């Protein structure tokens, strides 16, 4: 089949969809060119950002972008490749979207042309049939009822839901016009009191609310679309409740535990099986969390785990079909799938043979009536590409790629490494090496934010790949406090901001030097949010190791996180500050001296290395005074500090122009201090 371009034109945007023959040659790449790839190749908005098969698998919904046009939503009828534009806005882009049933979709709006500070509208909520008919707005975008070119096909629901209405993100049975939405009760201070669950008719706008047993924050549906679990959070304690509508409509308590530190009996609901079995994840007294079944008769998890990942906490989902467990999608070093079903094993093997250089994730329709399966292919060299596999013809069709301009032949390989911290704790880390280079390289130690999250996984990453394309080795430590690698590593990071967490990062840089990978005279530390904090504390603690630092959106004082500043608002929840931070970060009273000693703001006079600072003027997570107060303090004794403020940005850079500007400044800064322009 030859390469084709299929265009469908709505009133404001043209949608392009690529159709391609079997992709056995997709991994073939041309020789690398000498010139550096343009910054925009890494940090522009993706051209293609989503595709979902309908429940039957007969139709494909796609969200497509085009330069100087808004992202729009189209539906492809796979039997004949016909394309119909079904959703577009005159002042916004298509946000999230999902199938309600085989005939109808629901979607939200977003605006990729503005930063957080300039955002004026909520996402809203809309629904439309796959042929473009029966368009209806369901939830307000904060005052403007219709901001779309829906035209004559638009119908009004009887009453718009309020702006704070969002999709649940879990599917109903997909055999009716209903979906579940959540409505957080948000106070003017941005505190969330509870989250209400509503079952919404996407044709009429009518809804019914689900009874709550308390201050519910999370909800779980079963495979029949029934709300079966809810988790309340009150006074720092999470309580999981269960109900079985077929037996008893009331909620019954299963377990309570600390929201932030866990405890005996703690688990996280994963999914319900076709027979009503509840699958959960729990460490159950072990170092790594695993998948267990839960017994409602005893209110306990099973004694033996069902799924255990060697060296990792379980993260992923179970794949069901034909009323049985077909496979397990899980994250180890990378996302991958283990199939239990013989037919799916064979299909995976055929696709892997056609695409030998990528990991290929298969997604089945929920109620298959066609031979189509969605395939996401990715590697460390390839940004993800979305394809369709036809089980009858055994052919692959390209739907789209996130960054098709990226040349894999010029990308760098990434690997998971391990090293020992000075106290013997083993630290995982991601090492990205520039193509064609192996020894005595300039090194950027890139510190992930959070900090109580997993930093990364194997695959293409714009930040690391951009730095590697400029000749830098990139080390990204999963320092203590990081999640995903067991509770020993996680708990070792409690109350260790600026202390052992910081030592782990420095020990990683020294490990890279000892391996011969990094040049000891050319090491820079960089990061955002907590990573920005670690950057500043790295310059304080290890001035002989780091030659420079790059901090964007970084915390500069832990007490500022607690207390803030009267004229700058924060989105940090009071429960986290009252119950989470004292246990995991540090108590303002009991640990007062430690918080002073580990405050970059109070230690600013000790930083003499070149420093690049960048902050968002509309940041609600780390408000601007973190940056401005630190900049004023550090400049008193350090003339080599560069300041950037993106007034409209929040906690990170939403706009391509700002991402491109920022990373262009990073490139010049690194070149000057540890790169080709550095003074020996």
CATH of the domain at 454: 3.40.50.1820
**Same structural domain, 350 and 434:** no
Name the token pair of 566: 């009267």
C-alpha torsion angle, residues 331, 223, 50, 54 (rounded to 10)? 140
Tell me the CATH number at 330: 2.130.10.120
CA distance 458 to 490: 20
pLDDT greater than 70 at residue 26: no
pLDDT greater than 60 at residue 8: no
pLDDT digits (tens, 9 = 90+) for 119-166: 778 899 999 999 999 999 999 987 554 445 444 445 555 689 999 999
pLDDT digits (tens, 9 = 90+) for 343-401: 999 999 999 999 999 999 999 999 999 999 999 999 999 999 999 999 999 999 999 99
Domain presence at residue 406: no
Domain end among 362, 379, 401: 401
C-alpha torsion angle, residues 602, 606, 611, 612 (rounded to 10)? 0
Domain presence at residue 38: no
**Same structural domain, 598 and 488:** yes
Domain presence at residue 133: yes
Helix (H, G, I), strand (E, B) or coil at 678: coil
**Same structural domain, 434 and 372:** no
Burial of 636 (0-12, 13-18, 19+ CB in 10 A): exposed
Once rounded to an integer, what is the mean pLDDT over residues 522-530?
A: 98
**Same structural domain, 446 and 371:** no
**Same structural domain, 283 and 248:** yes
Q: What is the pTM of this model?
A: 0.92
**Same structural domain, 423 and 382:** no
pLDDT greater than 90 at residue 89: no
**Same structural domain, 64 and 83:** yes
**Same structural domain, 364 and 496:** no
Domain presence at residue 259: yes
What is 213-282 written as a DSSP string?
A: SSSEEEEEE-TTS-EEEEEEEETTEEEEEEEETTTEEEEEEEEEEETTTB-TT--EEEEE-TTS-EEEEE
pLDDT greater than 90 at residue 61: yes
Q: Which domain holds residue 566?
A: 411-673
Number of domains within the chain: 2
pLDDT for position 566: 57
Domain presence at residue 36: no
**Same structural domain, 360 and 433:** no
Domain presence at residue 572: yes
pLDDT digits (tens, 9 = 90+) for 218-242: 999 999 999 999 999 999 999 999 9
**Same structural domain, 337 and 425:** no
Mean pLDDT of the chain, nearest integer = 91
Domain presence at residue 33: no
Angle at 546 between CA 545 and CA 550, to 5 degrees: 165
Domain end among 341, 372, 401: 401
**Same structural domain, 448 and 395:** no
Instruction: Give yes or no for a contact between 220 and 229, defined as CB atoms under 8 angstroms apart.
Output: yes
**Same structural domain, 54 and 159:** yes
Domain presence at residue 35: no
pLDDT for position 383: 95
Domain end among 375, 401, 427: 401
């Amino acid at each position: 089949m030859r390469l084709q371009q299929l265009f469908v034109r709505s009133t404001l945007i043209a949608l392009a969809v690529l159709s391609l023959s079997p992709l056995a040659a997709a991994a073939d790449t041309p020789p690398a060119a000498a010139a550096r790839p343009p910054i925009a190749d890494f940090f522009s908005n993706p051209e293609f950002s989503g595709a979902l098969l309908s429940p039957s698998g007969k139709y494909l919904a796609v969200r497509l972008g085009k330069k100087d046009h808004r992202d729009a939503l189209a539906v492809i009828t796979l039997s004949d490749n016909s394309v119909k534009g079904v959703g577009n806005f005159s002042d916004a882009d298509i946000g999230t979207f999902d199938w309600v049933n085989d005939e109808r979709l629901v979607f939200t709006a977003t605006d990729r042309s503005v930063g957080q500070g300039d955002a004026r509208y909520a996402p809203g909520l809309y629904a439309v049939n796959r042929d473009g008919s029966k368009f209806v707005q369901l939830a307000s975008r904060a005052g403007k009822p219709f901001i779309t070119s829906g035209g004559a096909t638009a119908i009004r629901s009887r009453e718009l839901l309020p702006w704070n209405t969002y999709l649940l993100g879990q599917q109903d049975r997909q055999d009716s016009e209903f979906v579940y939405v959540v409505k957080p009760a948000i106070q003017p201070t941005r505190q969330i009191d509870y989250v209400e669950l509503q079952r919404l008719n996407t044709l009429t706008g009518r809804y019914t609310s689900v009874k709550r047993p308390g201050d519910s924050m999370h909800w779980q549906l079963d495979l029949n679309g029934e709300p079966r679990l809810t988790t309340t959070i009150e006074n720092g304690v999470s309580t999981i409740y269960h109900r079985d509508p077929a037996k008893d409509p009331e909620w019954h308590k299963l377990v309570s535990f600390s929201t932030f530190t866990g405890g005996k009996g703690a688990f996280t609901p994963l999914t319900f099986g076709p027979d009503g079995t509840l699958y959960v994840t729990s460490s159950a007294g072990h170092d790594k969390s695993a998948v267990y079944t839960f017994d409602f008769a005893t209110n306990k998890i099973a004694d033996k785990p069902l799924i255990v990942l060697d060296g990792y906490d379980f993260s992923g989902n179970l794949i069901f079909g034909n009323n049985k467990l077909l496979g397990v999608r899980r994250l180890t070093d990378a996302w991958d799938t283990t199939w239990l079903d013989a037919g799916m094993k064979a299909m995976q093997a055929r696709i892997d043979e056609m695409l030998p250089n990528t990991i290929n994730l298969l997604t089945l329709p929920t109620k298959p009536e066609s031979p189509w399966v969605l395939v996401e292919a990715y590697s460390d060299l390839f940004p993800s590409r979305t394809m369709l596999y036809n089980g009858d013809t055994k052919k692959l069709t390209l739907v789209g790629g996130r960054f098709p301009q990226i040349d894999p032949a010029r990308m760098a390989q990434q690997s998971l490494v391990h090293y020992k911290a000075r106290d013997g704790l083993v630290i995982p880390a991601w090492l990205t090496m520039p193509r064609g280079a192996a020894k005595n390289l300039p090194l950027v130690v890139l510190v992930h934010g959070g900090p109580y999250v997993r930093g990364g996984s194997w695959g293409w990453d714009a930040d690391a790949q951009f730095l590697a394309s400029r000749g830098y080795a990139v080390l990204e430590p999963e320092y203590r406090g990081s999640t995903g690698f067991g509770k020993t590593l996680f708990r070792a990071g409690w109350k260790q901001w600026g202390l052992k967490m910081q030592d782990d990062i420095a020990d990683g840089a020294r490990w890279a030097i000892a391996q011969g990978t990094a040049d000891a005279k050319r090491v820079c530390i960089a990061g955002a949010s907590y990573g920005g904090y670690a950057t500043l504390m790295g310059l304080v603690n290890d001035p002989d190791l780091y030659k420079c630092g790059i901090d964007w959106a970084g915390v500069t004082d832990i007490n500022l996180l607690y207390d803030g500043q009267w004229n700058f608002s924060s989105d940090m929840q009071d429960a986290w500050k009252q119950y989470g931070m004292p246990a995991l970060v540090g108590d303002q009273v009991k640990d007062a001296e430690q918080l002073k000693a580990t405050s970059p703001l109070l230690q600013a006079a000790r930083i003499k290395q070149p420093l690049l600072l960048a902050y968002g003027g509309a940041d609600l997570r780390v408000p601007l005074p973190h940056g401005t107060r630190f900049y004023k303090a550090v400049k008193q004794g350090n003339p080599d500090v560069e300041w950037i403020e993106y007034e409209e940005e929040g906690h990170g850079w939403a706009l391509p122009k700002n991402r491109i500007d920022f990373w262009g400044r990073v490139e010049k800064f690194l070149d000057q201090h540890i790169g080709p322009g550095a003074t020996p």
